[in-house]
Structure 1
Amino acid sequence: MSNFLGQRLRIGVAIPSTNTSAQPEMEDMRAFGVTNHIGRIIIDDDSLTHADGSNRVIENIRSATPDALRSLRHCGAGAIIAAVSPDGYWEGHAAHEALHGRLAEAAGGAKVILSADAILAALKALGGIRRIGLISPYLELGDEPVSRFFTDSGIEVAATHGLGGRTPSNISDVTPADLRDAVLAVDSPQVEAIVQVGTNVPMAAFAQAAEAWTGKPVLSNNAVLYWHALRSCGVTDPIPGRGVLYENH
């Protein structure tokens, strides 16, 4: 047996240069024999408080992500996670499919893992969930496009709560109280699962704990991305202590 560190799987993770949450959270999710390899998506820390700034962030992500994936294509990665969410949601399914095609070409044969695909796969694995509470990292400006992607996918968004990120880096400046309030704001008896989008929101551990007191799946963006990368590459062993998705699916 080979004794190299990533003997089961190597995962590339392309992360915005402003993001300080995805890398440490995904390191905590590694299964035995799986290694992570990081590439940075170089973007500016523009304001998200107005449309012009938000559009610049999206355009910067759009233009810089393929190079970040190309930087990872020669390390033998079985999958490359694009740890960004805006471009996967904001312009609907046709734009999402076009993006996936461009990134697949840049990835050079590695599976490309995007937030929208990973979350839809998780909801299907959890029994075909069709009604969610949605937590976004944005101000109200960014909440509507994210909700629209899910409704266009046949998922009812029963409630939405934005965490109010004012710049890409500022998105990570949340407290456990902020996350608790967000879960409470979108939960109701009608909601089947709670979904958090935004890869700079450090919610993986909190989401796992919140499942105990909500009694339903609480899916954090980074955890779902990493789960989908593992499962897409044949790493299917249950991983205890990381929530219902990792333990049972």
Structure 2
Amino acid sequence: MTEKQNSRPWLLDVDKVTVKLAGREVLADATLQVARGEFLGLIGPNGAGKTTLLRSILGIVPISGGRISVAGVSGKASIDRIGYVPQRHEFAWDYPINIHDTVLGGRTRQIGMFRSAKDADYEAVAQALEKVQLANLADRPIGELSGGQRQRVLVARALAGAPDLLLLDEPFTGLDMPSWELLLSLFEDLTNGGVSIVMSTHNLPEAMDICDRVALLRRSIRAVGTPEDLLQPPMVTTWMETFEVHRKSPLLKSVGIDTQMAAAEETAQ
């Protein structure tokens, strides 16, 4: 266990979740737990089910088996505790709205349908914009923003709802280094404050470098552990099976796996 996990209860509990889409089983008996204040990376090949798992936790994609709970509750009560940052291309950036009102949209559950925002809602938006350093641009139309600014808007929108669990779908893709560092620092502050984060990413070295634990996903969770755990020689086969690569694949080297050591260990056995 990492220091953050030690003696802490699970905030997110995904128990044997199965999802079928268009008659195809996308997830099968996926099981994953995330501690309060933990930063977990979710990695796997294209089509492995990463985004589907995130959307299942959100309740957007129905599950056909298993159970998902957040802070011990499931269903709508659990969804109210979650913030979600989708991939940037999924958002309608040509919509005529400014940054402030976009972030205010993250308070929809708290405000309620057809009701007006209250002082507490505007204060939550102001705090979220401060965290992503966009308070001075609150009136700017979202269509005029750079890629890094757009990502920060999406993060602020999720934070406005004061979530216990933050789900990130490829949050660092295409960002310049200043935006990358700003968001990483913010995510570290959030986890230190007790917010749990699950991040889906295709950047394997990045996940191994910044996450407390990493989960390998291919229809089901193949392995989960600290980056150090997953770099041990016995894990080579699991990486190969998850990503369908050979032992000499650059992918294994990119995450820091010593394939020669692994081969020597197998020979010794």
- Does the pair score TM above 0.5? no
| TM superposition score category, shorter chain reference | under 0.3
Q: Give the TM-score of the pair, scaled to structure 2.
A: 0.26
Identify which of structures 1 and 2 has the higher relative contact order when contacts are C-alpha pairs closer than 8 Å and 6+ apart.
Answer: 2
Q: Give the TM-score of the pair, scaled to structure 1.
A: 0.27
Larger radius of gyration: 2
